[in-house]
Structure 1
């Protein structure tokens, strides 16, 4: 069975209040030496190019156009930093798979994401986004391995959960938990979300707030 809810109403409300505060785009970095100082806790979002990262970041922050979605998968080729209330940074990592670029170019910006994971001491958790309509695929294995190698705590977030039936969501959560059960850096909760419907967004906010140990 899927894990029971772990956040009470008070925790969810605290997270709602935190994420109601201002979130702004800080910068995009194309090199590791261009990253901002590691002086705030960070959480990072990773996933396939068409998984809905921009939509999820916008939903979590309550800003419709904070992270710009592209009709061209694989367009994000830099690490984008967003600052929430000068207390937490949300980090959008380059997507993987389906990028209409050369292998050399794709490897360059995907390696940038890997370097970030290995070399960021203030990274509190990474969120690996998986399309609920497809579940974990072979293309996602490389990302899972990268997280495990970097020893970064990461949590699976299912996106577009409104596109499948509720009982299918529950089954997918259980299946995904089993698939990651032996992975050393995997966080033992899987979140099902819908940016369009708002499903799971309050819980994701609470997860981020807890991971960063931020209090109001």
Structure 2
């Protein structure tokens, strides 16, 4: 990568984060060293500390920002969907699939490097993940109460749905046979058909 000499702090900071994301995705957090990160960005290793506190802090910031983006995008999708339960549930599922198609590296890091976080940092990320899962479980409980959904165990169903939909990030390719909209619609339909009461299925 070209040297960032002369660039402003925000630009260098963004370059560090982008380079770190790529290196952690390809090598794993444990194998990534700050000397390689500095070389990737085009700065001296010591200059990294003008932008990060530590390697651990960098990983935490990347994972926290990923969760913040996921939560903010989900809340925006839910707000835009309006008050109808099934519209909001579809909006949640649609956004989950689309986000996981477009953020492959961030998702891989979030799922594989949670163990690399120090206990306090891990607890904070786990809390954000729980907050995200809670949005889905709340929708499922609302659907059960309204008689629209058949969900014997809300928590297990939510985990199963998220695991199925998240899997798209491991095989999706932009040049694949189906486009994003088709894949989102297909995955959302698969998820919903497993929980809709029979009389509500298409």
- The structure whose RCO (Cα within 8 Å, separation 6+) is larger is 1
TM-score by length of 2: 0.30
The structure carrying a bigger helix percent of its residues is 2
TM-score, normalized by length of structure 1?
A: 0.29
Greater strand proportion: 1
